[in-house]
Amino acid sequence: MSKEQPRLFGEMGELAPEAHQAAELPKRTYASFLPGLKVEDGYPQVQTYQELLDISGNCQKCRLRDTCRQIVFGDGNIDADILFIGEGPGKDEDEQGIPFVGRAGQLLNKILEAAQFDRSEVFITNVVKCRPPGNRLPNPDEVKECRNYLEAQIRIINPRIVVCLGAMACQTVIDPKAKISQTRGRWFTRNGIMIMATYHPAALLRNEQYKRPTWEDFKLIRDEYKKLTRSV
């Protein structure tokens, strides 16, 4: 699904009236998306995904880079209308360089397929881009350093929907004090982007009771996605 683009030229090739108006207006400012983050922290000078990827390749901002094999930055369509955010890469992801390819990723694939999403059309990433040792949860200082990349990813991809998979993504994107059990299944909006949190697929593998509410959340996400993309 392509995003709406501004009309720059009229039927005869001249600048459209709205293009003249846009030229006279001050440059649009970007408000930071993640709570507690300043605009200048999210690499505002970076305009393309490849530039951001190149910068991340040299990152040594936290201890995680010293213990992982590679940076697992993201996977999917960089023009996607929907962005899924997990917590961090695991062993399989660290080996393959792709997020959500282990058991949790295989379950996510099944959920996406059941909800009529093609994985190649969405974008998937994590809060932190390097695997924490032993698959532990990322520490707060590690999240703090890495969320600048996430902020830039969201700005460049410019999705219409963001889905937080699990408590860490929920707290990083929606509210640091949010509880996934209370926040999941509810829509939030920021910077014109709709946001919903649901359980992480790994949580479903540990506790089957989470499967039903997660599926209910994905049905809401699917329906809203169809509604938004039909309007384009």
d(CA 170, CA 148): 16
d(CA 123, CA 73): 11
In the block, tokens 């790994």 appear at 202
Per-residue pLDDT of the chain (232 residues; tens, 9 = 90+): 445 443 333 333 333 444 334 334 344 457 999 999 999 999 999 999 999 999 999 999 999 999 999 999 999 999 999 999 999 999 999 999 999 999 999 999 999 999 999 999 999 999 999 999 999 999 999 999 999 999 999 999 999 999 999 999 999 999 999 999 999 999 999 999 999 999 999 999 999 999 999 999 999 999 999 999 886 5
Domains of the chain by range and CATH? 40-230 (3.40.470.10)
CA angle 82, 76, 55 (to 5 degrees): 105
Element (H, E) at 65: helix 64-67
**Which pLDDT value is given to residue 3?**
54
**What's the predicted TM-score (pTM) here?**
0.86
35-63 residue pLDDT tens:
999 999 999 999 999 999 999 999 999 99
Distance of CA 83 to the CA centre of its chain: 4
